[in-house]
Structure 1
Amino acid sequence: MRRVKFPKRYLIVILTFICTCVCYVERVGFSIAYTVAADAAGVSQSSKGTILSTFYYGYACSQVPGGWAAQKIGGRRVLLLSFLLWSLTCALIPLDPNRVMILVMARLFVGVAQGFIFPSIHTVLAQWVPPHERSRSVSLTMSGMYLGAATGMLVLPSLVKFRGPQSVFVAEAALGAVWSMLWFKYASDPPPSGFGESLLPIKGSQKLKVENGGNSVRTAKIPWKKILVSLPVWAIVVNNFTFHYALYVLMNWLPTYFEQGLQLSLQEMGSSKMLPYLNMFIFSNIGGVIADHLITKRIMSVTKTRKFLNTIGFMVASLALMALPMFRTSGGAVFFSSLALGFLALGRAGFAVNHMDVAPRYAGIVMGVSNTAGTLAGIIGVDLTGQLLEAAKNANSDLSSPETWRAVFFIPGLLCIFSSFVFLLFSTGERIFD
């Protein structure tokens, strides 16, 4: 029988999927482990919010530099280096809520290191993946975030219970080391003929230098001004901000909402606590398959496909977010958080893939710009939520009241409505940068 050759670009996509999965195991893992350690040490809610948001300050600083570095020296190399740095930090830093400065510096450094990852991934995928496979490839890669979060929510509370909060750091460092070895062994730059970005026409001023059997470095000047004043880019930026505001608030504060808002134990909730993130994993891939089907079958144009999926995803998510604090049972909270996160993930087939539509050559750069906005959302949303809860606690001394949590979930709900209209008005699926 003839052997069926497994295309290298599929292996690249699978490895980037595992990459995002491991990254989000780390992020969820820290929020779970730190919440347990901080509560045991009597840390206030506002202080918890500050520590939880520290990661995003470092993350914001390295988004645009990450896109620039991936553009200049290659996403493959930048991705490996960033993974090694944050894994090593997790292995060396103790989780002690009383050693605030060390914890802050460690989270800042992990944030900086992980900030290079997603711009690098978009650069790699833009080079390896042809246009007709982009929606499902990006959706599969990004769905790793949600599978990682789901896995973390399922496994790590038990790990904390039996081995202590520090064990989470050890497990995360080990996962990072294993992925780094896989990437070092199997990843490579695309061949000179290319698959995605390098198949596009290149102007005379955009020279390529080919070294070491097809390692291409682009010397074209990055059109920073055109990127920063582009309305379609700003439509992506606004939606990235809203998506990550909702995601990071739920990721960092759902454990507190279950434990203190609903008086539920994460250990006793069993597998149900992972359903919101599992739903994101499923809906993200559904969105990618639907988008590629609509585009390749010419049912809708690229522009209409992006707007359709983005609007459906964000509008349903907004309704679910605003309904979430009204339901006080475990089943109700899990259902509406799952609905909200699932349809937000569906919306990624709109705005998130749009980086490669409008700027395939500079996908890492545009991703860096928009992900900076998403990271600012993490800083603002996570810290603001801590302030809201601390203020409510000082006024009512009761975090189990639904009124305490209403503003927490209404803010991202209203942002979803606003962002969907911005994307409808200003986005495009056409290439606007050469």
Structure 2
Amino acid sequence: MLPIAQELGWAAGTQGVVQSAFLWGYLATQLLGGTLADKYGGKLVMGAGIAWFSLASALLPALAITPWVAAAGLTLPAVLAARFLVGFGEGVALPAMNNLVSRHIPPARKATALGNVFTGFHTGNLVGLLLSPLILQRFGWRALFYMFGLAGVPLLLMWAAVVPGQPSGAAAAAGGAAAGGAAAASRVGVAALLSNPATWAIIVANFVNHWGYFIYLNWMPTYFYKVLGMDLRASSLMSFVPWVVMALGSTCAGLLADGLVRRGVPVRRVRRGIQTAAFLGPVAALGVLSNPAISPPVALASMTAALGITSLGQAGFVANMSDIAPRHAGLLFGLCNTFGSFAGILGVSVCGFVLEKTGSFTPIFQATAALYVVGTLVWNALSRAEPQFA
């Protein structure tokens, strides 16, 4: 975002709106992706999403930011549309993933499987942060979008070859009887899901988690660049470290949760305890980050702690979706992630305008810490671990 904003002269508020455009598209396909995944299977839906967002990635340099679009005074709307389309394709990914895990993985291994999936998810951020500065310096920002778009071709081929299309044997039975899951899913709709307090526990946890996550994801390089005075390459590399810890933390969270369950700890206690740690742990780190005089090493350590501890939530509220709705995991994930995506849109946009008005990240860090506390209270009051939907 920084090179594009510098080229086009966008203020921080405009940058926040542009970055949130992706999330509007992402939000638009959460429920759709979950519904289609429960009906047709996560493999097909994810494959379609990969093809869509890979093609859409090339639209920004190819069509949106061009001399003829600028001459028409439509650069900003065109960029917003291009980013919306990328998000529209990526929005089906996590609901499809949750459907695949729910249908193919036995309950005793689901938290570990989800942890591994999110490790891959965060590793994608790592690859982007590592390669982007190198590509930017050598080829410019336009090449970055083309290259990541082309990367979808081998990814799609690998996905088609490796991922199973239908669950088999014990995994299908343990995962929620996939063959009957589609039929059952037709009898449980959004209204039924929303009528249960356990769903609202996940919705609130998802909202709080995504508020912080997307602020970190979109604004961390800017924080290191503008607040700590690092150059563009150094800010990207500094942003790399917290995502490494978050990727490792996702795997460790899954192993920890499944290990505790195997030792006889009740699932509800495991989910509540891990999610409580995932929310309250970052509160202290955000308090340190709120200090305007913070040094770069302390800022990096605090940001790393915040993201690393937050990753425990993959074995908390994320795994809890399969606990309470094993046959409707795609739909439930899509529903809850719709609220989470809206939180991301709100957080990213608000952060941009607050930064433009105050020049400080402190109010954002403080608001995020407060939300983590609220999320903890709601989670412990409403969350359940027993299946809630037939």
Q: Could you say which TM-score interval applies, normalised by the shorter chain?
A: over 0.9
Deviation at 1:127, TM superposition (A): 0.8
Map 1:5-404 → 2, pairs under 5 A = 34-94=1-61, 96=65, 99-193=75-169, 195-196=171-172, 200=176, 208=180, 217-218=182-183, 220-224=185-189, 225-268=191-234, 271-298=237-264, 300-326=265-291, 328-392=294-358, 399=359, 404=360
Deviation at 1:93, TM superposition (A): 3.2
Change (3 A) 1:248 1:109: same
**Mapped contact 1:316–1:343 kept (Cα < 8 A):** yes
Gaps of at least 5 residues in structure 2 are: none
**Mapped contact 2:129–2:236 kept (Cα < 8 A):** no
Question: 2:377 & 2:252 partners in 1: Cα distance?
Answer: 23
Deviation at 1:191, TM superposition (A): 4.3
Question: 2:235 & 2:4 partners in 1: Cα distance?
Answer: 20
Indicate the larger mover: 39-48 or 376-385.
39-48
TM-score of the pair, normalised by structure 2: 0.92
Say how many residue pairs are matched. Answer: 379
Question: 2:167 & 2:123 partners in 1: Cα distance?
Answer: 31
**Mapped contact 1:276–1:337 kept (Cα < 8 A):** yes
Change (3 A) 1:363 1:157: same
Q: Deviation per CA, 1:353-407: give whole Å up to 9, x if none.
A: 0000000000001100110011001110000011111112xxxxxx3xxxx2210
Question: 1:378 & 1:286 partners in 2: Cα distance?
Answer: 25
Deviation at 1:122, TM superposition (A): 0.7
**Mapped contact 1:37–1:96 kept (Cα < 8 A):** no
Deviation at 1:286, TM superposition (A): 1.0
Question: 1:86 & 1:363 partners in 2: Cα distance?
Answer: 23
Question: 1:282 & 1:343 partners in 2: Cα distance?
Answer: 10
Question: 1:188 & 1:270 partners in 2: Cα distance?
Answer: 36
Q: Percent identity, please.
A: 27
Q: Which has the higher helix share?
A: 2
Question: 1:85 & 1:93 partners in 2: Cα distance?
Answer: 14
Change (3 A) 1:201 1:137: closer
Question: 2:337 & 2:85 partners in 1: Cα distance?
Answer: 17
Name the SS of the counterpart of 2:171 in structure 1: coil
Name the SS of the counterpart of 1:166 in structure 2: helix
| Amino acid in structure 1 at the alignment position of 2:43 | R
Question: 1:337 & 1:279 partners in 2: Cα distance?
Answer: 10
* Aligned pair partner of 1:407 in 343, 356, 363: 363
Change (3 A) 1:368 1:329: same
In structure 2, the residue matched to 1:432 is 388
Deviation at 1:332, TM superposition (A): 1.2
| Amino acid in structure 2 at the alignment position of 1:73 | Y
Q: Deviation per CA, 1:56-81: give whole Å up to 9, x if none.
A: 11111110111111111221111100
Deviation at 1:44, TM superposition (A): 1.0
Name the SS of the counterpart of 1:188 in structure 2: coil
Q: Deviation per CA, 1:246-284: give whole Å up to 9, x if none.
A: 010111111111111111113235743311111101111
Name the SS of the counterpart of 2:131 in structure 1: helix
| Amino acid in structure 2 at the alignment position of 1:367 | F
In structure 2, the residue matched to 1:422 is 378
**Mapped contact 2:60–2:83 kept (Cα < 8 A):** no
Question: 2:366 & 2:323 partners in 1: Cα distance?
Answer: 32
**Mapped contact 1:266–1:273 kept (Cα < 8 A):** no
Name the SS of the counterpart of 1:218 in structure 2: helix
Question: 2:42 & 2:87 partners in 1: Cα distance?
Answer: 18
| Amino acid in structure 1 at the alignment position of 2:3 | V
Deviation at 1:219, TM superposition (A): 5.9
| Amino acid in structure 2 at the alignment position of 1:311 | T
| Amino acid in structure 1 at the alignment position of 2:51 | L
Question: 2:262 & 2:237 partners in 1: Cα distance?
Answer: 37
| Amino acid in structure 2 at the alignment position of 1:57 | W
Deviation at 1:230, TM superposition (A): 0.9
Question: 1:153 & 1:191 partners in 2: Cα distance?
Answer: 35
Q: Deviation per CA, 1:280-313: give whole Å up to 9, x if none.
A: 0111111111000000121x10000000101112
Q: Deviation per CA, 1:87-130: give whole Å up to 9, x if none.
A: 01113431639522221111111111111111111111111101
Gaps of at least 5 residues in structure 1 are: 1-33, 209-215, 393-398
Indicate the larger mover: 154-163 or 269-278.
269-278
Question: 2:205 & 2:175 partners in 1: Cα distance?
Answer: 29
